Amino acid sequence: MSLHLSIGPLVSLIAGILILIMPKLLNVIVALYLIVIGVLGLMGMHTLRL
């Protein structure tokens, strides 16, 4: 059995949980998510799998 996780959905899930727990962090979480996805896209790691 093999388990493959993509970075995008994993980061989205963590961000969503944090926003539900602490809604005041919404701006910070969205900004960090966009930065991480942007950097991964620029580095050609958009298909990075764990």
Tell me the pLDDT tens digit for each residue of 8-24.
777 778 878 888 888 88
Q: Which residues contact 29 (CB under 8 A, 6 or more apart)?
A: 15, 18, 19
pLDDT value at residue 21? 87
Distance CA 42, CA 35 (A): 10
* SS3 state of residue 6: strand
Q: Is it the case that residue 27 has pLDDT exceeding 80? A: yes
Q: Is it the case that residue 49 has pLDDT exceeding 70? A: no
Q: Is it the case that residue 35 has pLDDT exceeding 80? A: yes
Domain extent listing, the chain: 10-42
Distance CA 11, CA 21 (A): 15
Q: Is it the case that residue 2 has pLDDT exceeding 60? A: no
